[in-house]
């Protein structure tokens, strides 16, 4: 048993999330892969395992319930899966966490750094996640429509929505993960970007502000 499994289970309880033991183990193997690759590729500044669990895994898991709610609202035809684009994904946060916990969502993690996209591909192969792919590209070059375009501490809201606009489906939504409420960024958003919900998040074990900015184009 992974030594951090009880800590993860406690965090999941705090978030009101139920995951199979297989998915919990996948999350922890993923975290171990980040630690292993970071020694060579510097994927993350967080090196401590306990801190990684809180700041990376639980921080990303906090968006799963809100994401499922918004996906359900899209009312896509029965049997049609969801497509999600994680912009500036880095080590795959939150994209890989979403791919593990939501197998009905096809997740593409895009990053301009080739070694980070390669890491995503390695995780997809190691964890046998057919719904995950890493893509080495600039988000501005993507035009396939995604139901959700998300980012985690990637860029300002103006840049994030501007660069990824062509990749958002007509019915789609942006999910921007932020720390403190980004008042200044919201003020300068163009009129065609509609913020329809600012959602506060509570991350178990993390004494810091977190929120999601939900937007439509």
What CA–CA distance (Å, rounded) separates 163 from 102? 26
CATH number of 59-216: 3.40.50.150
Partners of 148 in beta bridges = 84, 173
At residue 74, the 3 state secondary structure works out as coil
Block mean pLDDT (10 aa), the chain, length 217: 94 97 97 86 70 90 97 88 94 97 97 94 98 97 96 93 97 96 95 96 93 97
What CA–CA distance (Å, rounded) separates 208 from 59? 10
Domain ranges of the chain: 59-216
Say if residues 33 and 92 touch (Cβ distance below 8 Å): no
Question: Which residues, other chains included, contact 180 with Cβ-Cβ below 8 Å and sequence gap of 6+?
Answer: 209, 211
pTM for the predicted model, two decimal places? 0.96
Predicted confidence at residue 46, as pLDDT, reads 65
What CA–CA distance (Å, rounded) separates 206 from 217? 32
What CA–CA distance (Å, rounded) separates 131 from 108? 8
DSSP string across 94-160:
THHHHHHH-TTEEEEEEESSHHHHHHHHHHHHHTT-TTEEEEES-GGG--S-EEEEEEES-S-HHHH
């Amino acid at each position: 048993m992974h030594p951090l499994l009880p800590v993860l289970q406690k965090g999941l309880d705090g978030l009101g999330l139920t995951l199979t033991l297989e998915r919990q183990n996948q999350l922890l193997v993923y975290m171990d892969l980040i630690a292993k690759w970071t020694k060579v590729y510097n994927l993350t500044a967080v090196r401590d395992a306990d801190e990684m669990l809180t700041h990376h895994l639980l921080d990303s898991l906090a968006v799963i319930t809100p994401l499922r709610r918004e996906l359900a609202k899209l009312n896509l035809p029965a049997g049609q899966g969801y497509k999600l684009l994680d912009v500036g994904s880095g080590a795959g946060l939150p994209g890989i966490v979403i791919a593990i916990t939501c197998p009905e969502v096809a997740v593409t993690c895009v990053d301009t750094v080739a070694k980070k996209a390669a890491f995503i591909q390695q995780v997809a192969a190691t964890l046998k996640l057919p719904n995950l792919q890493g893509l080495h590209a600039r988000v501005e070059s993507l035009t396939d429509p995604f139901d959700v375009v998300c980012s985690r501490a990637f860029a300002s809201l103006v840049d994030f929505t501007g660069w990824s606009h062509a990749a958002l489906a007509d019915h789609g939504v942006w999910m921007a993960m932020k720390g403190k409420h980004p008042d200044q960024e919201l003020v300068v958003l163009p009129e065609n970007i509609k913020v329809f919900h600012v959602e506060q998040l509570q991350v178990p074990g993390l004494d810091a502000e977190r929120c999601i900015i939900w937007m439509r184009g």
